[in-house]
Amino acid sequence: MDNNKQLQGLSDHQIQLLALKGLEAREDEKKYSLWHIAKDMKEELESIKEEILEDAYPEDRISEYVDSCISVYTYDRIMIFANNYNDLDINQWEGSHFLDAIVFAIYEYLHGEASAWLYKQQEEVA
Q: Cα separations (Å) of 109 from 3, 89, 105?
A: 39, 9, 6
Judge whether residue 24 has pLDDT over 80. Answer: no
pLDDT at position 20, please? Answer: 57
Which residue, among 113, 102, 100, has the nearest Cα to 36 in the 3D structure?
Answer: 113
pLDDT single digits (tens) 95-106? 778 888 899 999
pLDDT at position 125, please? Answer: 80
**What residue ranges do the domains of the chain occupy?**
1-31, 33-125
User: Class of the 33-125 domain?
Assistant: mainly alpha
